[in-house]
Amino acid sequence: MLTNTFRGRDFIAIADFTREEIDTILDTAFQLKLERARGVQHHLLADKTVFLIFYNRSLRTRNSFECGIMHLGGHANYLDSNSVYTPAAAGAEKAYVTERLEDVSKTLSRFGEAIAIRIYGEAAGWNYGQGNDYVRAFAAAADIPVINMEDDKYHPCQGLADVMTIKEKLGNLEGRKIVMSWAYSPSRKKPVSVPQSMMAACSFYGAQLVFARPEGFELDPEQIAFYRANADRYGGSFEETDDMRAAFEGADVVYPKSWASLRHVAPAVPVADWDEQDKLFDAHKDWICDEAIMKLTNPHSLYMHCLPCDRGFEVTDSVIDGPHSVVFDQAENRLHGQKAVMALTM
């Protein structure tokens, strides 16, 4: 546990923190969860404001942040990007509609105590990394912590909630076979942030990480290198496969979900090619999590999903509503993990 390094820091990627720091966040989250259950008031951020800037829809993220900051005695200021002068990078400005993002960041730094941002997909030009660049630019200009509520590379708050849930259910991750798998969806437009952050968080804790996806749905090689390095360092393993069934065999945790292929968006191609994306998706409609494939896993395995899920495509109702599913526990842990991040950094 490392406790004296947080105040004033941004929370943008799991990899920006050491395992000792992630330990501290998780311990804090579990403590806050228990305090809330007992009805202990913890106004650790009294009279402080967190600005929530959303370029994309949100149910869990927005509401868990709004509730969490209120539990901490603070004020969540929800901003959809159209009701303000939309923050824009230099060169992308439009008079009296946008405002340079550094100006927005510096202004909000004068009023409140943290800025949380969600930006990916269309809002980040379907140019992999541009959403994260945007969040980093906000952070560089800000005098207050910037929290990543999901960009096109990372969803670190989801990663925290995922590890919390596995720890709660299985006690620890050490030696557990944990499978992040691609799954088919009629929507092609999901970012890679959830699988990348979930595996980053798990890679600290000695798990046997298995990453399953059809050819074409690989992740950022830098991220993969990070998981491998952590597996080496912390005594786990990392394996990649294009065989969903083999991956599920004997798994303790499965996390099948959809994401867009990085091969068919910028910068791999000049502009996102949705026809090619469609072809790739349509060739893999059999990547679904159903009862048959769940039978291959361990009897008490966990079915995980960050939600929203596309029922009937990524997963059947019988699995997500069945005994393996821990999806609402995951959702709840968003709340506690984020409260910990805010309580430590703000």
Contact footprint for a copy of itself (CB under 8 A): 41, 46-47, 49, 51, 54, 57-60, 62-64, 66-67, 70-71, 75, 77, 79-80, 82-85, 90, 93, 95-97, 99-100, 103-104, 106-112, 185-187, 189-190, 307-311, 313, 328, 331-332, 335
Nearest approach in angstroms of CB 151 to a copy of itself is 17
| Summary count for the chain: helices (H), strands (E) | 12, 11
Q: Which of residues 207 and 326 has its CB atom nearest to a copy of itself in the complex? A: 326
Q: Which of residues 18 and 41 has its CB atom nearest to a copy of itself in the complex? A: 41
Q: Which of residues 13 and 114 has its CB atom nearest to a copy of itself in the complex? A: 114
Q: Which of residues 176 and 188 has its CB atom nearest to a copy of itself in the complex? A: 188
Nearest approach in angstroms of CB 101 to a copy of itself is 11
Distance from CA of residue 182 to its chain's centroid? 15
Q: Which of residues 54 and 227 has its CB atom nearest to a copy of itself in the complex? A: 54
Q: Which of residues 23 and 103 has its CB atom nearest to a copy of itself in the complex? A: 103
Nearest approach in angstroms of CB 118 to a copy of itself is 11
Q: How far apart are CA 210 and CA 293, in angstroms?
A: 16
Nearest approach in angstroms of CB 332 to a copy of itself is 4
Quote the strand ranges of the chain, DSSP E: 49-54, 75-80, 86-88, 98-100, 114-118, 146-148, 177-182, 208-212, 237-241, 253-257, 302-303
Torsion angles phi and psi, residue 114, rounded to 5: -165, 155
Q: Which of residues 63 and 127 has its CB atom nearest to a copy of itself in the complex? A: 63
Q: How far apart are CA 173 and CA 227, in angstroms?
A: 14
Report CA Rg, the chain.
20
Minimal CA–CA distance to 117: which of 99, 104, 100?
104
Nearest approach in angstroms of CB 231 to a copy of itself is 32
Nearest approach in angstroms of CB 228 to a copy of itself is 31
CA atoms within 13 A on the CB side of 97: 4
Q: Which of residues 96 and 299 has its CB atom nearest to a copy of itself in the complex? A: 96
- Taking a C-beta distance cutoff of 8 angstroms, is the pair 24, 3 a contact? yes
Nearest approach in angstroms of CB 63 to a copy of itself is 5
Minimal CA–CA distance to 22: which of 139, 161, 193?
161
Burial 26-55 (b: 16+ CB within 10 A, else e): bebbbbbbeebeeeeeeebbeebbbbbbbb
Minimal CA–CA distance to 326: which of 232, 273, 252?
252
